[in-house]
């Protein structure tokens, strides 16, 4: 198992990504653009944590996790837009919103732990 796979933030984002994939497959026929944007943001959320964990510099890792936070905000917006347009059912919206909240919590926790280290500190957070 890779080091990033052990991080709670990655686990939460990965679960969110899988749920978004299922939703995006359903949305594809009704609004391919929204489905594509939603899927791209979900992939970005988890992949930035994986990418950041490969850096030996904590600030570089934190910058990648910061991009994860941006992607999570995008997912929230696309989800709300799809719901407002009647493309996403209430239960699907609530499920993904809940997973997104969990991913946001653990990602914030991770970025805060990375920010606590010195600028030249290397390696993953302890």
For the stretch 94-108, pLDDT in tens is: 999 999 999 999 999
Burial code of 32-50, b = ≥16 C-beta within 10 A, e = fewer?
eebbebbbbbbebbbbbbb
Tokens of 82: 């799809």
pTM score above 0.85: yes
Q: CATH homologous superfamily for 3-115?
A: 23S rRNA-intervening sequence (1.20.1440.60)
- DSSP 8-state secondary structure symbol assigned to residue 70: H
Question: What integer is the mean pLDDT of 22-48?
Answer: 96
Q: How far apart are CA 111 and CA 34, in angstroms?
A: 28
């Amino acid at each position: 198992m890779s080091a990033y796979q052990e991080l709670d933030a990655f686990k939460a984002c990965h679960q969110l990504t899988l749920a978004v994939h299922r939703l995006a497959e359903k949305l594809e026929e009704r609004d391919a653009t929204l489905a594509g944007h939603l899927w791209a943001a979900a992939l970005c959320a988890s992949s930035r944590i994986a990418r950041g964990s490969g850096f030996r510099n904590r600030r570089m890792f934190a910058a990648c996790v910061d991009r994860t936070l941006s992607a999570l905000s995008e997912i929230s917006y696309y989800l709300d837009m799809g719901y407002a347009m009647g493309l996403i059912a209430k239960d699907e919206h609530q499920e993904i919103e809940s997973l997104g909240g969990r991913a946001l919590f653990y990602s914030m926790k991770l970025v805060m732990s990375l920010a606590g280290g010195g600028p030249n500190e290397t390696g993953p957070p302890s």
